[in-house]
Chain A
Amino acid sequence: SQQGEEDPQALSIQEGENATMNCSYKTSINNLQWYRQNSGRGLVHLILIRSNEREKHSGRLRVTLDTSKKSSSLLITASRAADTASYFCATDAINDYKLSFGAGTTVTVRA
């Protein structure tokens, strides 16, 4: 079932700007993951943050996790046209090996 809800649904920014998207979820989790999907393709794993972590970086990506608020954010810094894609958060709930995906945020980076 779908647990994560993402905000905003769509985001349009200029190249070089930062993009921030948020994810909220409902149940206790082992970890939260972010994925990117280019149009018509499969998903690519970006970053995994465990429930005992608060912040994680990977290149131009920064992810935060607030388990008290059951929310996470993904920040893409210095965006590029190639970052244009849909971004999904996915939660790995405790005692459930299936990932639950959010509705996704469609990001458009204008050159």
Chain B
Amino acid sequence: GAVVSQHPSRVICKSGTSVKIECRSLDFQATTMFWYRQFPKQSLMLMATSNEGSKATYEQGVEKDKFLINHASLTLSTLTVTSAHPEDSSFYICSARGGTGLYNSPLHFGNGTRLTVT
């Protein structure tokens, strides 16, 4: 089946530093990947849609200069949290569609990254 690998699983960083999270599709090509943020005991909030070879599409209220997304290849998307602050502490999850199209196919998720900013 389609596998999405997300790294790192946990990261602790100091306030003001930047953190990069990688999301790789291991056995399929992902033209589009999605980045979510999840607060404790809450649902997933879509942050942005990452498109291979073009700019990411950000959801309303998500700062694109703070959450930099790069989708340089069909198997890799990265999310960089720049100048991190404690309020950026959260669980970040990436996903990609496994089918041949964007519709009527399930999402395959990475295992998430727990970011703690001290």
Contacts and interface: CB of A to CB of B under 8 A. Distances in A.
Contact of A88 (B34, B43, B49, B114): B43
Contacts of B56: none
How many residues of B sit at the interface, in one of the four size bands?
20 to 34
Contacts, number: 60
Interface stretch (A12-20, A42-50, A56-64, A76-84): A42-50
Interface residues of A, number: 25
Interface of A: 2, 30-31, 33, 35, 40-45, 48, 50, 88, 90, 92, 97-104, 106
Q: Give the dominant DSSP class at B's interface.
A: strand
A6 B105 CA distance: 22
Interface of B: 4, 6, 32, 34, 41-46, 49, 91, 93, 95, 102-112, 114
A48 B108 CA distance: 13
Q: Give the dominant DSSP class at A's interface.
A: strand
A48 B110 contact: no
Given A40-B112, A40-B114, A98-B46, A45 B107 contact: yes
